[in-house]
Chain A
Amino acid sequence: MILENYQIKLKRVEFEDLEYIRIARNSDFVRKNMIYQKIISKKEQQEWFKKINNPENFYFVIIHKSEKVGLINLKDVNMENKSAEGGIFLFSREFASNDISMRASIMLTDFGFYELNLKKILDRVRKDNILAIRFNKAIGYSFHELDSNVLVGELFLDEYEKFASRYRNLFNKLYNLTN
């Protein structure tokens, strides 16, 4: 499964992607912002893949010009209460401090709300991950405290749309040349 828009691709994670993701996930740049911060072994990575390689979990590699630059997900999709948990990380600061993260987030959040018909998307972030909190607020998330280290964000469609249309218009203009 591949989603494509705004000159990037979201390719569903396959077994062949695991080692590349694991190495990036274990880098200091990525790990320091994660709730789970231990180094992940090959075996743990493969066990993780078994848990997420199913219709309840959508994990995508973000691909820019044939280069794997990040991972984005909607996990624990619950079709009864129409909810899922989102997440994203870019593999390097070079890509994290670019517009790719927002292009990918708009694509996958649109997929969640309009293809999966979700009503709510959650996100858990470390309290000290100021950039992630700021980023999520910029697409409409509101946060509350889960515990002393973690915040939970909630995103609903009506709030998301107050922010998303501006990004879609900009990205269509820049990358899809519709204007």
Chain B
Amino acid sequence: MKKLDLGEFINDFASLFNDLQVQLTESTNFKEIEEWDSLVALSLIALVDEKYGIRLLGEDIRSVTTILELYQKLLSKQY
């Protein structure tokens, strides 16, 4: 499975949105993005499973707010 890289992960995350109106950075609170919804959350879960082999659960997403925190959560689950 592919190793996590923060910059690439931010690009992956941005690709989940059809019409993203904001520039994402590691400090972005992704839950405040207007387009963030259950389908984007599902796409994120599927993406990290397929690309990185990481089982990201709904409660993992609930426990973080920024993209950096999400990335760190994924790192902690990768090993």
A170-B46, A170-B49, A173-B49 known; A101+B38 contact, CB < 8 A: yes
Residues of chain A within 8 A (CB-CB) of B42 are 99, 102, 167, 170
Residues of chain B within 8 A (CB-CB) of A97 are 31, 36-38, 40-41
Q: Chain A interface: which of B2-10, B21-29, B54-62, B68-76?
A: B54-62
Q: Which residues of B contact A (CB under 8 A)?
A: 31, 36-42, 45-46, 49, 55-59, 61-62
A135 on interface, CB distance cutoff 8 Å:
yes
Q: Mark A100-131, 1 if CB is under 8 A from B, else 0.
A: 11110000000000000000000000000001
> Are B39 and A98 in contact (CB-based, < 8 A)?
no
Chain A interface extent, by class: 10 to 19
A43 on interface, CB distance cutoff 8 Å:
no
- Residue among A65, A131, A167, A174 making CB contact with B37, cutoff 8 Å: A131
Question: Please, how many angstroms separate the alpha-carbon atoms of A102 and B38 in the complex?
Answer: 8
A134 on interface, CB distance cutoff 8 Å:
yes
Residue pairs across A and B with CB atoms within 8 Å: the count is 50
Question: Please, how many angstroms separate the alpha-carbon atoms of A175 and B58 in the complex?
Answer: 10
What's the least CB distance linking B57 to chain A, in Å?
6
Question: Please, how many angstroms separate the alpha-carbon atoms of A24 and B36 in the complex?
Answer: 21
Question: What are 20 A-B pairs with beta-carbon distances under 8 A?
Answer: A97-B36, A97-B37, A97-B40, A97-B41, A98-B61, A98-B62, A99-B58, A99-B61, A100-B38, A102-B39, A103-B58, A131-B38, A135-B38, A135-B39, A138-B39, A167-B42, A170-B45, A170-B49, A173-B49, A174-B57
What's the least CB distance linking B66 to chain A, in Å?
15
A94 on interface, CB distance cutoff 8 Å:
yes
Q: Which DSSP category, helix, strand, loop or mixed, fits chain B's interface?
A: helix
Q: Mark A136-174, 1 if CB is under 8 A from B, else 0.
A: 001000000000000000000000000000010010011
Find residues 82-107 in chain A having any chain B CB closer than 8 Å to their own CB: 94, 96-103
> Are B62 and A134 in contact (CB-based, < 8 A)?
no
> Are A98 and B41 in contact (CB-based, < 8 A)?
yes
